Amino acid sequence: MMTSAHAAGFPDKPIILVVPYTAGGPTDVVARLLAVPMGASLGQSVLVENTVGAGGTIAPARVARSKPDGYTVLIHHMGMATAPALYKKLPYDPLKDFEYIGQVLDVPMTLLSRKEFPANTFPELLDYVKKHQDKVSMAHAGIGAVSQLCSMLFMNQIGVTLTTVPYKGAGPAMNDLMGGQVDLLCDQTTQTVPVIQDGKRAKVFGVTTPKRLSSLPNIPTLDEQGLKGFDVKVWHGMYAAKGTPKDVIDKLNKALNAALVDENVKKRIAELSSDLVSADKATPESLHRHLEAEVARWGKVIRAAGVSAE
């Protein structure tokens, strides 16, 4: 392990920020926003690298195997917590193979339907879905995607089994919803807010977070409409390989916190209808606690649904 004396010189070369998904996607956008102010704080470039594949599990495996020196860092969303239940042979353990830098941001989700769907209110939606569940389809962005997890929680909470339709990404799923090919979709605000605001291509039935969104103040939450405790948001965290010295983690955490109060970052994240975490959540301890709770929570939901990525 690197000694504190060596850590004192950290960083003396660029840092790689590994993203498990394609360039241009929500996680990549966040990574590139954070990279600039983090680099300024650290005095070295932070270079974003997309390591894509296997449902977002290749990138964490790569970082877990990397030298524990702080020069290879992972940013990942809640897929970090769901992978243990989805994959029987996961090549890393999210709770044992990493050091934790801090939580980053939360992206809320919304429940939408195609424009011509028979229901117009959430009570009407519940009534229709319960009576016609064998005829109702629900799209998602692929096995392990947060849109699939939201769908599972929705079906689990209202006690129905709908026909789920997997897509290769949220974009194609949204296109087919707007085209009328599928009935329902739960997706991130980064994609749904423009569709909701124009009001012409889909219907919205609720927000998946406990509080209403400032960008959609008139859209009630699913919780306030009767689905008590319904809470799905795409939370993100930042990680390094197990054994990275505390001095280095502290420097990375300080840089993350500097990025979270950067004016450009705050402006752009607000435009994406997302929420940067408060300083008390942007800590190694908070991320570790949150990850533990989420692994347990989603493990129950995924096992109950009998879903596997393999």
3-state SS string over the chain? CCCHHHHCCCCCCCEEEEECCCCCCHHHHHHHHHHHHHHHHHCCCEEEEECCCHHHCHHHHHHHHCCCCCCEEEEEECHHHHHHHHCCCCCCCCCCCEEEEEEEEEEEEEEEEECCCCCCCHHHHHHHHHHCHHHCEEEECCCCCHHHHHHHHHHHHHCCCCEEEECCCHHHHHHHHHCCCCCEEEEEHHHHHHHHHHCCCEEEEEECCCCCECCECCCCECCCCCCCCCCCEEEEEEEEECCCCHHHHHHHHHHHHHHHCCHHHHHHHHHCCCEECCCCCCCHHHHHHHHHHHHHHHHHHHHHHCCCCC
- Return per-residue pLDDT of the chain as tens, 310 residues: 444 545 678 999 999 999 998 887 778 889 999 999 999 999 999 999 999 888 789 999 999 999 999 999 999 999 999 999 999 899 999 999 999 999 999 989 999 999 999 999 999 999 999 999 999 999 998 877 888 889 988 998 999 999 999 987 788 899 999 999 999 999 988 888 889 988 899 999 999 999 998 888 999 999 999 999 998 988 999 999 999 999 999 999 999 999 999 999 999 898 888 889 999 999 999 999 999 999 999 898 888 878 777 6
